[in-house]
Structures are given as structure tokens and as C-alpha cells.
A and B are shown apart, each in its own frame.
Chain A
Amino acid sequence: MVLEATMICIDNSEWMRNGDYSPSRFQAQADAVSLICGAKTQSNPENTVGILTMAGKGVRVLATPTSDLGKILSCMHGLEMGGETNLAAGILIAQLALKHRQNKNQQQRIIVFAGSPIKHERKALEIIGKKLKKNSVALDIVNFGEEEDGKPEKLEALLGSVNNNDTSHMVHVPPGQNALSDVLISTPVFTGDGEGGSGFAAAAAAAAAAGGVSDFDFGVDPNIDPELALALRVSMEEERARQEAAAKKAAEEAQPQSESQNATSTATEKVSDPMDEDDLLKQAVALSMNIPGSDSSAGDAQMSEATNDDQELALALQMSMQDGSKDSSAPSDVSKVLGDQSFMSSILSSLPGVDPNDPNVKDLLASLLGQSEPQEKKDEDEQPKDDK
């Protein structure tokens, strides 16, 4: 919540036509600028932001520091690219604009977008930096776009001469998948030395997540749609537990202990990789069809009876082929699933509102086990008789 007046220096030179940032360098820069303006004005209502362009016919101030966000965004329209950037003149004129700010209590800050090659010497930049430091102006540099041989060193020298107690920062954004604004959101340029802009940054990150590139589980922000996020998460955990249980039965039955621990741990761990929404939906539908009548499956998946039976039958056939002699009808299959204590407890723990340690739940489990055991005993009695 620092009270700040900011001047943003935009690079609108010919180098900004390049498309290595999508859709073009200039457009990516414009998006970043509007996000910064929003973040600054939101973190403190008395903050002011101004804009100037460094290339074109010469350095031109588009907006003097103002808190009117609409005016700032409107002056970004219709900007033309051309000419060469004059970094030194841009910074000095930004400092002059800040000097004549209306509220002298505001801290002064300049944000520079350095996208084209720098034609100034390192010495000249250091002198400018010292002048800024002397007048207690902070400087943020966004290094993107054109990568030239001496550019990072020159910018480092400039930052070093300006920096006073870490109020100035430099961010390097290489071209690639992520948009310029997405990379900037997590940097001190936005968050303002670690406090203040974090609320806006979180909201902007959520907006970015909805757009596809997701930092949240399952591509859905729990803040925006908690029910959908919960349903997806529960179905994911159940599917994983189910797969673990099936794999366990297919493998050795002699090692229930380690694998059950595996099942519970995978059931509780969160998915850290971003999941494609289509895959998730498919999994959710498959899962809801596998467990008939389960309340926790994704509510918006429609189940068909025919495919339901087919899934069960296929699994049952698979099990009968492994075991050979056991009865392979669906009810005993389900009872085996129910009979697996560890699997049941992992399912129950993933259900909201059910505590596996609750005595009622334990009684229910025991009764289910009691039903399945006599059935198994009957099967085993039948087998020896059949063999004979």
C-alpha cells in the first residue's frame, strides 16, 4: 500500500513488430502495461500512473501521472510503432514528469520496457542511474524482446547505480509460451516489494488460469467454482484408488500392506501436473460408470445402463480368468471390493463428511465384511465339491 506515482516508459520502436511474443511484442507489452496500471491503482487508490513512449518521432508523454484508469487505457489505443528508442531521454523525461506530480508525498517510480537494442553507453546509463538515486526515484526494468550482446550488462549497470535498498528491480522475460503479463504478475514489478499488489496478482492469476494455462488443480479455480473443483478432485481420487485396488488384485495378494499404504497415499496426494479438461471429463465419466450409484461422482455425467453392465462384465471376466475357480458374478466382485478394508477406508476418507474412524462407519464395514465372508466360504465349499 505504498503511495506511489509511476511513469511507464513504453517501447514503440520498429523492433516491436516481431511476433516472438504472442500476438506481437507490442501487443504483449500493451497487455502488461494495462495490467500494471490496474495493479497500481488497486493497491492504493491515491496512486497515480502516467505513460510515455520512447520511440516514434521522439519521446512523447501520453498521460501525466493520474489515477484515472480509463484515461490511461484510452491513451494506449492507436499507438503506432516506428523509429528507434531513446532510452536515456525517456527516463529523464519520466523523471521530470514525476517531479511535477501533484501530490509530493508520493514515492517516485519509473517502469521501463526495454525491448530494443540500447544505443547508449554504459557510462551514460550509470550517470542517469545515479541521478535517479540522488532524487530517490526507483526504477523497474523489464528486459524483453531483442537480445543484443551488451544489453543485459548495460541494464545491470543501470540497475546497480539506481538501486537503493532493493527498491528497484529488473525482470528478464525470454520469448516463449508464456505471455509477458503472466510472467510479470509474479515479479516484484507487480507485487511491489512483496506487499500490496498481491491481492490483484492472485485475481489476475486466476483469470489467467481460466484461460487455459493452469496453476490450479484440474484447471478450475476453487475460488471461482468450488463445487466443480471438489467433484473433480473426489472423482480423481476415487479413480486412483480404484485403479490401485485393481492393480493390487491383479498382482500378488500376499502383499496387501504396502500396496494399501500406496493406495491411501495416492488417494490423498494432489495432482500437481496441469490436467487437460477433456481428459478429466473422460475420467470422471468412466469413474462414475464404474461405481454404480455412487453419490460422489461428477454430477453432470450421464450414465448408460448398457455400458455400465459391460464394464462390470469385463472386469469380472478378467478376475475369473486370473483366479480360475472362483465364482465370477458381479455381487461377489463387489463384495470383494467391499471386503478390502484398506480400499474401503481410502474411499471413505475421500468422501466429504465421512470419517472412517467413526464407530458407526466401522460397524457398517464389519457387517458388510460379515456378509461377504459367508458367501466366500460357500464358494470355497462348492469348489472342492465340484473338483471331486
Chain B
Amino acid sequence: MACTHDHSCEDHDCSSNWSLYKHIDLSKVTALNEANPGSVKSVFKAWEERLNSSGEHLESNEGDPELLVYIPFTSDVKIKSISVVGGADGTSPSKLRVFINRDGIDFSDAQSMQPVQEWDLVENLQGVLEYQTRYSKFQSVANITLHFPESFGGDTTQIHYIGFKGEATQLKRDVATIVYEITPNPSDHKTRAETGGGLSHVE
């Protein structure tokens, strides 16, 4: 389901919405079937730069327009909508299928698994289209995998920008350190209230 902006886009207003790119763990972003290893990291940028195609962009290998992008976040996020800017001359992706919180997906998995949601994309060279998600399914996303199975007839698929709109929670999926005590020792739990008399409490 695509919607277009019905107001002249004030950059700062929109750009603050599209700020989930700051919560992407860029070092762990990977893509399969990309022509230049590592070029996938260039598609995550600020909203203002979404049309800036002078730098690197993500391109698939010759003759094979399929692309698979794995994006981990630094904390759980809620995604409201996704925006994709493709390339010209039929190199824009025509379909998008996403998978949530699964890592190690490769092409055979992606083709056989049922995606969480899929969209038919339109050529979006101006970057004004966004695709809304079924928000209830995207409430705690630690990582997301985008599968672009085909393009609009071009030999390769080019992607210049991928943006996420939503909000970040503070929840992280990290290892938790927990200390177990058989009998609590109050001296181990000194708090701010230790100068006064009375009971101290464990925070």
C-alpha cells in the first residue's frame, strides 16, 4: 500500500521521521548477490541524501537481478513504513518481501519461506513513495531481511536508498549479566541513603 506526500515536503519534518537509519548496525549489514562487496552500506543515509546518486549504490551481479539484504539494528525498533529508491531504466526492484528476526537466510530459504509481508513496488526515482507495514507484526524488530526477487526488466537491480520510518525502543538483545545471592549481605548493597539511619533498600 503506497501513499504519496500530499504536502510539499519540508525536509526537516520528514527527515526526522526517517531517522531509523541511525539505529542500524552498519558493520553487520550484509547483502547477497551484490556486485561490489560492501556497497550495501551506502544505501542507508539521511532522508535528504536519498536522491544523491553520486556515491556508491547497491547493484546486483550482471544478469541476475535478485538481491537479499540483511539489516541488524542496534536495539529493537518498531517499523511503520519502508521506502526504497531504485535505479533508472528498469533496474528498480519490482517486488519486496521481508523477513523479521531471522539471520542466515540465503536465496533458497528466501524463495521457499513465507515472508512476513510483501509488496509490489513501483518505480520510485524521486523517493516520495513509502510502503506501510502491518504495524502489529513489526513491533520488536531486531533485524530485518529484505528480499528483492526481480526488477522491472533490467539486467541488474540497483538500489540507491533504503529508509525506515518508525521508532526505536531502548530494548537491546544482549547477553544479560545476573548476579545470584543465596543470602543478601546489606553491605554489598550500599545506597545513597546509607548516611541516615533506618532501612536501606536494594535498588
Contacts and interface: CB of A to CB of B under 8 A. Distances in A.
Ranked 5 nearest A-B pairs via Cβ? A104-B104, A134-B33, A135-B106, A104-B103, A165-B37
A104 B105 CA distance: 9
Interface residues of A, number: 9
A97 B11 CA distance: 49
A133 B106 contact: no
B26 interface: no
18 contacts: A99-B106, A99-B108, A104-B103, A104-B104, A130-B64, A133-B61, A134-B32, A134-B33, A134-B61, A134-B64, A134-B66, A134-B107, A135-B32, A135-B106, A135-B107, A136-B32, A164-B37, A165-B37
Contacts of B107: 134-135
Q: Give the dominant DSSP class at A's interface.
A: loop
Interface in A139-186: 164-165
Contacts of A165: 37
Interface string B48-72: 0000000000000100101000000
Interface string A353-371: 0000000000000000000
B160 to A, nearest CB: 22
A91 B127 CA distance: 42
A136 B70 CA distance: 14
Interface residues of B, number: 11
A164 B103 CA distance: 23
A135 B104 CA distance: 11
Interface in B181-200: none
Contacts of B106: 99, 135
Interface in B102-134: 103-104, 106-108
Contacts of B103: 104
A99 B104 CA distance: 8
Nearest to A135: B106
A164 B38 CA distance: 12
Nearest to B31: A136
A165 B106 CA distance: 20
Interface string B78-117: 0000000000000000000000000110111000000000
A70 B108 CA distance: 33
A50 B108 CA distance: 22
B61 to A, nearest CB: 7
Given A104-B103, A164-B37, 16 more contacts: A99-B106, A99-B108, A104-B104, A130-B64, A133-B61, A134-B32, A134-B33, A134-B61, A134-B64, A134-B66, A134-B107, A135-B32, A135-B106, A135-B107, A136-B32, A165-B37
A168 B168 CA distance: 40
